[in-house]
Structure 1
Amino acid sequence: MTLNSEISAAVGRLYDTYPFPPEPLLDEPPPGYNWRWNWVAAYNFCTGRKPESEAVRILDAGCGTGVGTEYLVHLNPEARVTGIDLSEGALAVARERCQKSGADRVEFHHLSLYEVDGLEGEFDLINCVGVLHHLPDPIAGIRALASKLAPGGLMHVFVYAELGRREIYLMQQALARLLGDRRGDFKEGVRLGRKLFAALPENNRIVQEDRRRWALENHRDANFADMYLHPQEVDYNIETLFELIDASELRFLGFSNPAYWQIDRLIGKDAELMERAAQLSERELYRTIELLDPELTHYEFFLGRAPLARWDWQDEEVLKGATAELNPCLQGWPSRSLFDYNYQIVELSEEEFAFLQECQGGKRTVGEILEKVEIDLDGVRSLQQRQLVVLSPKTP
């Protein structure tokens, strides 16, 4: 058995012992939404427009117990979804989860990411959350996934960041040493790890960080094992992250939490520092931001395969001819105070609220709505830029 296969087998044993994520199974669709898993919302975020079709193929690569898979099915009613994972135990839970909640447009396969070429055809959206950093060869993994991405498709990726996980890494290393030759016994690892946390002083930094950031989820053994006992983990920084991205030969479309990556929130009060920051390349700027704010525990971002054009809607006639509809990931509508696609509270003006009311049904053009609502084109652009409306350009 090769080293890579040994590691993959160990990862499989972990998730057979503790299927992950350990979320409860429901007899109805899961509550809320994650806009990154909604094809229309994600495509709009990446390109500035609505996709031409919602009848797409979606791959959940490393689906685990199917928490994300279930959302992908329910949030995309015209999509066909495929889930793959290397743990039979986790897949059994995923199948039961989707069956119970009525997520019936999904099929599951017992495959690793390296074996994804065994699936038929290509996918318009590939979701890969919390998996690549657990592979013995993440570059081979992302290349395998990239080979299955259709032209014009999106890949959503989540991997760990090293700076915000420093205390986790330290506990992983210490616990591994205390376990000795029983490192592969995950139940023993959870038992010993709980004792270790209980024995450490109250002011210990590892204890304090666990209580501040992880204690709520880590009361469940599956979460504790996934965090502190995983047999394979790679934590990234901006430099190594972009080595991974570049290896995919896909286009980097941006981080899905753009507010974190704004340097002005950190040094905006100093004009000289802002001027110096403006001279940095994009990647140097990203690296500077994470060094100055090392709380980041993961990177979440989108990659894409050409052709993918970015729409800015500056042409007035093109904007007036576009069909407008509500972003599918809004909560609290209809109200002037609601949660946007990212669960942030938005307070709408009377004019903005009136415009959004006219967008319901997605049948009217911006120009037609402007005949009824007192809002200018810049106001429409603001709604689009804030991901409150989704625009479809007029078909030639």
Structure 2
Amino acid sequence: MQSRSAEQILKQVRQLYDLYPFPPQPIGTVPPPGWNWRWSWPQAYAFCTDAHPGRRPVRILDAGCGSGVGTEYIAHQNPNAEIWAFDLSSRALEIAEARCRASQAPPVHFRQLNVYDIDQLPGQFDFINCVGMLHHLPDPVAGLQALANKLAPGGILHLFVYGELGRHEIRLMQKAIRLLVTGSEHQPLASAEHLQQGLQVGRRLFQILPDSNRIQQQERARWAIENVDDECFADMYLHPQEVDYTIETLFELIQASGLQFLRFSNPEFWRLERVLGKDETLLAQAAQLPEPERYRLIELLDPVVAHYELFLGKPPIRRWEWIHPEDVAAAVAHLSPCLGLWPGRSLFNYAYEAISLSEEAFAFLQQVDGIRTVQALQESLDSPLSWPQLQQLLRWQVLLLEPQENSF
């Protein structure tokens, strides 16, 4: 197959999303239901640093916004932020703008461009959201470096890229469709006609493959519900450009960007205890490995990762540990912006985990206003919280603490 230039790849990617704008969610006239905490600046920042960022002005960029599903959430969750968004596809951007208008989202500055040209956007950003774009670039390293250059010092970047081990069957189907449409499994579906033929061929293949077929089983178990939409099917099986990662190549990508790995957004999956907890000897042995190797061991033992979702930061970034009562007492208290069923003693925390508050904890949180310190709140209550109770609220990230300015 003749190698493609970066310009050709970008043209083919734009063509796919002009034909099949993604994501395909319908446009609504009210704010989207539920909140994804990964798109909330205060909650995401606290997740990465264990500290609330305060009320300072913030600039947010949605990089590769597509049809604006994430952009709409970001705008509604961060109403006081200055928000920008860009994408390669003009049709996707039209939908994104219409989506935000329909739900009366706070203003968003939309631009049509590719990530390599984001120097055209003014200034730097405190928070960059990059979901599902980087792995479709001709040069993901250069793409992440471009984003890193636009990230302000101390800022965070939310990244979503494909995982190789959990997408094995997807790649097989991609190659089968290409082979049937173009005559070569290595030839991308480069024209609109080939994309439309690929959709028809792919649909027919899933109609005839037996239930015992591994590709069929994975599709039905993991993807079939969303792939009812042609846009989702095309994004998964017809894409002309895709780079899949392992932990090894993911950390090589991060290192090349100059950014700092902070946390996976699903940390429970990446705990060694989840896979080795029944053998203390192996667990202790694995715990001695460097951090990337520990993650590599986990994905080798449980090879289901179809994507990595993580946070990166631009130094200097400080991680806070609230282990001293006097530091907690002096911090300004904020309520998590991503609570379900609040106000109530039975609610969901930011990670959609059901928790039950004690009567004292509920009374404390009702007084939290983002202005007073923990000590001031404690002094206003007839029954102040004990140290263990405060620590539990911090572990749940129901209570977010803003350090005193002179502590930074």
- Where does residue 240 of structure 2 map in the other structure? 231
Aligned residue type for 2:111: H
Which residue in 2 is equivalent to 1:153? 155
Match of 1:174 in 2: 176
Choose which of 294, 299, 311 in structure 1 pairs with 2:303: 294
Equivalent in 368, 390, 405 of residue 380 of structure 1: 390
Instruction: Give 1:119's aligned residue.
Output: 121
Q: Provide the rounded CA distance (Å) in 2 between the counterparts of 1:298 and 1:217.
A: 16
CA apart distance, 1:348: 2.2
**Counterpart residue identity of residue 66, structure 2:** G
Calculate the TM-score normalised by the size of structure 2. Answer: 0.94
Query: What is the identity, as a one-letter code, of the residue corresponding to 1:122?
Result: Q
Moved >4 Å (runs of 4+)? none
Report the CA distance between 1:367 and its aligned residue. Answer: 1.7
Structure 2 residue identity aligned to 1:356: L
Q: 2:377 aligned to 364, 369, 379, which one?
A: 369
Residue pair 1:54, 1:79 contacting (<8 A) in 2 also: no
Q: In the TM superposition, what is the alpha-carbon distance from 1:382 to its structure 2 partner? A: 2.2
CA distance 1:247–1:296, shift in 2 (3 Å): same
State the Cα deviation string for residues 231-283 of structure 1 (Å, max 9, x = none).
00111000000011111101111111111111101111211111111111111
Task: Report the 3-state secondary structure (helix = DSSP H, G, I; strand = E; otherwise coil) of the residue aligned with 1:201.
Answer: coil
The equivalent position to 1:285 in structure 2, one of 283, 294, 297, is 294
Does structure 2 conserve the Cα–Cα contact (< 8 Å) formed by 1:252 and 1:304? yes
The equivalent of 2:24 in structure 1 is 22
Distance in 2 (CA, whole Å) between partners of 1:190 and 1:38 is 36
Distance 1:2 1:110 in 2: 23
Alignment correspondent of 2:78: 76
Q: Does residue 61 in structure 1 map to residue 36 in structure 2?
A: no
Correspondence for 1:337 among 314, 338, 346: 346
Structure-1 separation of matches of 2:272 and 2:320 = 24
Is residue 56–residue 80 contact of structure 1 (8 Å, CA) maintained in 2? Answer: yes
Contact 2:360 2:385 in 1 (8 A): yes
CA RMSD of aligned residues (A): 1.5
Alignment CA distance shift 1:54-1:293 (3 Å): farther
CA contact (8 A) 2:332 2:374 kept: yes
Amino acid at match of 1:303: L
Structure 1 stretch displaced more, 294-303 or 369-378:
369-378
- CA distance in 1 between partners of 2:302 and 2:353 (Å): 21
Residue 214 of structure 1, CA deviation? 0.5
- Quote how far apart the aligned CAs of 1:292 are: 1.1
Verify the 8 A CA contact 1:79 1:105 in the aligned structure 2: no
> For the structure 1 residues 278 and 136, does the alpha-carbon distance in structure 2 shift closer, same or farther, using more than 3 Å as the test?
same
Residue type of the alignment partner of 1:377: W
Shift in Å, 1:2: 5.9
**Which is further off, 311-320 or 144-153?**
311-320
Q: How many residues align?
A: 395
Cα distance in 2 between the residues matched to 1:293 and 1:355: 41
Return the offset for 1:54.
4.6
Residue 97 of structure 1, CA deviation: 0.8
**How far apart in 2 are the matches of 1:233 and 1:351?**
52
1:266 partner amino acid: V
Displacement, 1:326?
Answer: 1.1
Gaps of 5+ in 1: none
**Counterpart-to-counterpart distance in 1, 2:206 and 2:157:** 38
What are the ranges of 5 or more consecutive residues in structure 2 without an aligned counterpart? none
Aligned residues of 2:76 and 2:106 also touching (Cα < 8 A): no
User: Do the aligned partners of 1:255 and 1:300 also contact (CA within 8 Å) in 2?
Assistant: yes
Letter in 1 for 2:275: L
How far apart, in 2, do the equivalents of 1:354 and 1:260 lie? 33
